[in-house]
Each structure stands twice: as structure tokens, then as C-alpha cells.
Amino acid sequence: LEAVAARLRDFSRKQDGAVIQNMVLSARERLGKVLQRLAERGTVLEEARKRSKQFSESRQLLLDWMEEAEQSLEVPSDTTTSQEELKSQLAEHKAFQKVLRSKRPVLEATLRSGRALREGARLDQDRQPLEELLRDLKERWDALCSHAAERQHRLEEKLLLSGKFSEALQALLDWLYRAEPQLSEDAPVGGDRDLVSDLMDKHKVFQKELGKRAGCVRALTRLVRDPARGDSPWLQRQLEELSTRWDLVCRLSLGRQARLEAALRQAEEFHSLVQSFLRRLGESEQSLKYGAIPEEEALLQSLQCQQLELECITSLGEEILSSCHPDSVVTIKSWVTVAKSRFQEVQRWAQQQGERLQAQASRLEAEREDAAQLLEWMAVAEEALGLRDTEPLPQEAELLQELSAQHAVFMEELNRKQPDVEKVTKSCKQKLAAELGRRSAGKAPAELPRAPEPQSPLTAQVLQRWQQLWLLALDRQYRLETALQRLRELEEFAHFDFGVWRKRYMHWIGQMKSRVLDVFRGIDRDQDGRISQREFIESVLSSSECPGILQDPLRHPGSGGAVLGEMGMDGVCLRDAAQAGVEGLEPEEQHLGCWEKRSSP
């Protein structure tokens, strides 16, 4: 394209070369934007590919590990083991549960990355498979946790049935000691919706495990309190400790469930408020950037409503942060910061829009003042023209020239007002003065060019009055020039010379590429070889390019002289030429030979 443009510039005019160069620069700029967008799109796609690959690999590693863990948890139900083996299996299972708890953050990170991919997916056919992958991973994890809890419960029951009350009791107490800090009322449970949902899922798993251990606790309590067994007081004290801790854990579990439900409702409210607030901010921003100009009161009212929403979001975010989980502090703060920054951006756009509205109002007021001044000036000009038109035109050339000079001054002033009129109307793209200035001074003014309709009644009135004033001014100019032309023609008619006229007439015939005999043959319509004086006069008049205003006496030879029209390409008007050209000839008809002899050079 640049090579073709360079060759075109070598054979083009200067102004065309500038246009070609601008087109090339525009094409280069557009290409640069496309390449930039292409690079940005490539970066986004690469990041999305990396996230998708990371999610897939992490999910697959978790699934492989869970499959191995499920196989290790599968133990035949009829296997009989000794107490030592049960204790060993219980210790191994505790170690496995420790590893299971260490895998929990990996699962949460994988679920978060999957949710981010699901929310960022643009196609519906991508969201559904991601949803199924996330649901399958979570179900597999819940099933593994449930299987691990059941296995621990079975091991504790076997240990209890084998007579190892102290070991079973100690295992239950250890589990209660580990669960109690997690259920503490001081433990933060607030946060964003996803984190609170995860905490709720964890607590549901814990409650299931708690329900399964309830039977073991009841059985242990019943066996230890059996009077026939005669267990030691230490075991009785341990049982009382177990009962106290169990009641405390159950109470804490109920309290945590209530706090999680309240936190989830709070997180849902915060999420809906932020999303609706950002959506309305986006709509307001689009309206401010690309929509119609809103009313100032409506704009201020909308900003006040959004300001109240932002205050609600900020206060709710601070309330959540007061009891927020550490993993969700950054998320809540980022959402509050995003809401504030977006509101500030829209507020700046609104302020700029308000400034533009004020500037536009000031500009419109100035235009109205200019229009009023123009209308006042045009009214005075129309009145002055009307007064001048009521006065009869003088018959002296000097006075007419003086009036013409005065009117020329008025026309110059009218031309100076043209930019002011165009500034006010704006919609009138054509230069009326330039268009009217190209009109011939010897012709009556034709219809003015149709201009586009202005956008307000005031500009329409200005344009209409301006066109009317131009028509009046051109009409007066035409009448003055016509009067001057008539005086010149009268002066030339008084000093008419047939010899001069004959030379001009012959010169005109020569320019028409005709011979004199051919001209007279054209006049002789009946082809009898003779033409009358009247036929000659009418032919001369009809051959003129622009008949003069004194041609009527030519049609009446008895009125004291005949007049011819214009007989040359230079537009000189000759009068009374036909009458003088036939003097000394027969009054009615002459032979063509006489005319040929008389007209020969």
C-alpha cells in the first residue's frame, strides 16, 4: 500500500498527495491498533490456557491421589485383628487424616481456579463441562472424607468392643480437643460468598462425623457406667470429661452453624449489592459516554442514589471485615476498592459531562444573543432597503452610479455578516454569499439554494430573514444595474453609426462560419428570391444573442427609427441598424442580388 501510494504521489497534485498520505497514515494507525489488539488477545488467551492447564493438572493429581486413598481405605469387613493391630491401624488412619487435612487447601485452590474459569467462560458449551468437573471433584472429595470418617468410627468401635476402653476414650477425647478450637465462637466465619460456602460445606462434613461418633460415645458411656464392670475412678473421670467436652462441641457446632448461615446471608447480600452496583455504574458510564445528553437534575439524582449504594457496600464490607476469615480479607477489600474506584471514574465522567453541559448552555446563550443582534441588524437593513425602494430611481447616470456605489458598500457589509450568520445557524453548510456572488448582474435573481433545515426555530428564523435580506439586496442591485444599462443603451442609440454596426454584423456572421448569401437565403423562407424589409428586421432581431430593451421600436419602423438587438459575441447593443440598413431601397421587397451586392465587403 505504501509503495502504491508513493507512486501515486509522484503523479498527483500536491493536495491529492496530502490526501493520499493521510489515508496511508490512517491505514498504518488502524493496522497498529489491530496488531496491538491481536497481541493483547494473544496474551489473554495464553493466560487462560495456563490457568486451564493448571486447573486440569491439579484436578487430575487430586483425583489420582483420592483414588489411591480410597483403595487404601477399603478393608474387608470380616477381618479379625488383635488389639495391637487395631491400635496400629488407628494410628495409621490418624496419620492418613492428617494428610487428608493437608490436602484440603489444594482442593480449595483447585475449586477456586475452576470457578474463575467458569465465570470467565464466554460460551455456554464451556460453562457446563466446567460445572460438571467441579461437581465431580467435590463429590469425590466428600465421599473420601465420609469414607475416612466411617473407617475411623469402625476402628474405634472395634477397639471399644475389644475391651480397650481407655484407648477408645482417649481417641474420642483427642478428636474433641482438635474440633473444639475450630468451633470456637471467636473463630472468624465472615468473608466472600465462595469462602463462606466452603466453610459451610466443611461444617456439614464435620456435623456428619459428629453424628456418627454420637453412637460410639453413647456405647462407651453405657459400658463404662456398667456397675458390674467395676472400672477405675480414673476411667470415670475421663468419661465425665468426655461427656463435658461432647456437650460443649455439640453446642459450639450449633453456634457455628448459625454464625455460618448468618455469614452466608451477609455474603450473598454483599455480592448482590456489589454486582448490581457495578452493573448500574457500567450502564451509567455507557450512557454518559455514548448516550444522549441527560438532564442535569436526573444526572445528579442518579449519582446520589449510587453514592448511597456505595455507602451501603462500604459499611457492609467493613462489617464483614470485622469478623472476616483471613483467607477472604483481601477479596473483600478488593471488591470495596473496585466499587469505590469505579464510582470515582463515573463521577469524573459525570463532572465532565456537567462541565460540557454548562459550556454548551453558555455557548447556546451566546448564540442566542448573536442571533438576536443579527435579527435586529437585519430588521434595520430591511427597513433601510424598503425606504430606498420607495424612492423612484433618478434618470441621471451620475446619481445612479452614486446609488450603485452606496449599494455596493451595503453588499460588502452584508458579506462581512455572512460568517456571523453561519456561526449562528451551523447547519447551513453552503456559503450563501459566495453562491449569490456568482450570479450574473444582468439577470434577475433566481431561487436561492436550499440549505439544510436548522435545528431550532431561532436559527430557522435567522436563516429565513437572511435569505430574504439577500433577495431584497439582489433585487435592488438588479434594478440599479438595469437602469444604468438602459441609460448606456440610450446614449449609444443617440450616437448610432450604421457603418460600425455593419462591420460588427459581418464580423458576427464570420464567427458563425456563414456567408452573407447563406444568411439571406435563410431569411427568404418562401424561396422566391426576394425578402421584405420587415423580414430582414425580424431576422436580424431573432439572430441576436441577447435582445436589448429598445428592440420594440424596431418592430415599428414608422415610429421614428428601428432597433436591432445585440449583434456580436462581445455583447455590444446596436440600435436602429435595420432601419438605417435598408434606407434608399425599395419600400416593400428587394431582390437577393441587390442585398448581396449591398452586403459584399
Q: Three-class SS string for 105-161?
A: HHHHHHHHHHHHHHHHCCCHHHHHHHHHHHHHHHHHHHHHHHHHHHHHHHHHHHHHH
C-alpha cell at 316: 457492609
Looking at residue 34, what is its pLDDT? 95
pLDDT-based confidence at residue 569 (cuts at 50, 70, 90): very low
DSSP 56-113: HHHHHHHHHHHHHHHHHH---TT----HHHHHHHHHHHHHHHHHHHHHHHHHHHHHHH
Going 131 to 133 to 136 to 139, the CA torsion angle's sign is negative
Question: Tens digit of pLDDT for each residue in 184-198?
Answer: 888 888 888 888 888
Domain boundary (491, 512, 547) is at 491
Mean pLDDT within 200-205: 86
User: Which residue, 585, 599, 528, 523, is CA-closest to 557?
Assistant: 585
Looking at residue 567, what is its pLDDT? 37
Looking at residue 30, what is its pLDDT? 93
Mean pLDDT of all residues in the chain? 76
Residue 386 lies in a domain: no
pLDDT-based confidence at residue 224 (cuts at 50, 70, 90): low
Mean pLDDT within 458-474: 87
Tell me how far the alpha carbon of residue 109 is from its chain's centroid.
39
C-alpha cell at 95: 496419620
Residue 261 lies in a domain: yes
On whether the CB atoms of residues 380 and 469 are closer than 8 A, the answer is no
Cα three-residue angle 106-259-268, rounded to 5 degrees: 70
Looking at residue 549, what is its pLDDT? 40
On whether the CB atoms of residues 300 and 233 are closer than 8 A, the answer is no
Domain boundary (456, 491, 526) is at 491
Question: Tens digit of pLDDT for each residue in 57-97?
Answer: 999 999 999 888 888 877 655 455 676 777 788 788 888 88
Residue 385 lies in a domain: no
On whether the CB atoms of residues 463 and 454 are closer than 8 A, the answer is yes
Looking at residue 600, what is its pLDDT? 35
Looking at residue 98, what is its pLDDT? 86
DSSP 8-state secondary structure symbol assigned to residue 495: T
Helix, strand, or coil (residue 591):
strand
Q: Which residues contact 16 (CB under 8 A, 6 or more apart)?
A: 8, 9
Amino acid at residue number 392: P
Query: Which of 133-147, 249-263, 296-310, 547-561 is predicted with the least confidence, judged by mean pLDDT?
Result: 547-561
Q: Which of the given ranges, 34-43, 235-244, 492-501, has the highest pLDDT on average?
A: 34-43
Looking at residue 32, what is its pLDDT? 93
> Virtual CA dihedral for 164, 165, 168, 173, nearest 10 degrees?
-150
482/501 same-domain check = no
Domain boundary (287, 314, 337) is at 287
Query: Which is it for strands 530-532 and 589-591: parallel, antiparallel or unpaired?
Result: antiparallel
444/570 same-domain check = no
Mean pLDDT within 468-487: 89
436/573 same-domain check = no
Mean pLDDT within 214-231: 67
User: Which residue, 222, 184, 51, 185, is CA-closest to 130?
Assistant: 51
Query: Which of 141-145, 221-225, 364-368 is predicted with the least confidence, judged by mean pLDDT?
Result: 221-225
Alpha carbon distance 471, 463 (integer Å): 12
User: Which residue, 238, 216, 87, is CA-closest to 166?
Assistant: 238
135/222 same-domain check = yes
Residue 315 lies in a domain: no
256/140 same-domain check = yes
Per the document, the length of the chain is 601
Alpha carbon distance 332, 317 (integer Å): 7
Cα three-residue angle 69-74-79, rounded to 5 degrees: 145
pLDDT-based confidence at residue 39 (cuts at 50, 70, 90): very high
Number of structural domains (the chain) is: 3
486/506 same-domain check = no
Residue 45 lies in a domain: no
Q: What percent of the chain has pLDDT over 70?
A: 78
Mean pLDDT within 385-392: 86
Q: Which domain does 469 fall in, by range? A: 392-491
Alpha carbon distance 484, 479 (integer Å): 9
505/483 same-domain check = no
521/443 same-domain check = no
Q: Which of the given ranges, 69-83, 460-474, 576-590, has the highest pLDDT on average?
A: 460-474
Helix, strand, or coil (residue 191):
coil
Alpha carbon distance 585, 597 (integer Å): 12
CB neighbour class for 431 (10 Å; exposed up to 12, middle 13-18, buried from 19):
middle
Looking at residue 455, what is its pLDDT? 55
Specify the higher pLDDT residue, 587 or 387: 387
59/193 same-domain check = yes
pLDDT-based confidence at residue 515 (cuts at 50, 70, 90): low
pLDDT-based confidence at residue 594 (cuts at 50, 70, 90): very low
Residue 330 lies in a domain: no
Question: Tens digit of pLDDT for each residue in 320-336?
Answer: 888 888 888 888 999 99
On whether the CB atoms of residues 70 and 147 are closer than 8 A, the answer is yes
pLDDT-based confidence at residue 457 (cuts at 50, 70, 90): confident
Looking at residue 36, what is its pLDDT? 94
Could you tell me the CA-to-CA distances from 173 to 75, 95, 99, 186, 247 in Å, in that order? 25, 17, 20, 22, 12
Give the global pTM: 0.53
86/214 same-domain check = yes
Kindly report the CATH number assigned to the domain that includes residue 141.
Answer: 1.20.58.60
C-alpha cell at 381: 437593513
181/67 same-domain check = yes
Burial per residue of 556-570, b for 16 or more beta-carbon CB atoms within 10 angstroms, e otherwise: ebeeebbbbbbbbee
Residue 558 lies in a domain: yes
Residue 320 lies in a domain: no
User: Which residue, 337, 339, 346, 487, is CA-closest to 404?
Assistant: 487
Query: Residue 597 pLDDT more than 60?
Result: no
417/516 same-domain check = no
Mean pLDDT within 421-449: 49
On whether the CB atoms of residues 585 and 501 are closer than 8 A, the answer is no
Specify the higher pLDDT residue, 320 or 587: 320
In this structure, how many other beta carbons lie within 10 angstroms of the beta carbon of residue 179?
18
Question: Tens digit of pLDDT for each residue in 517-536?
Answer: 777 777 877 778 788 888 87
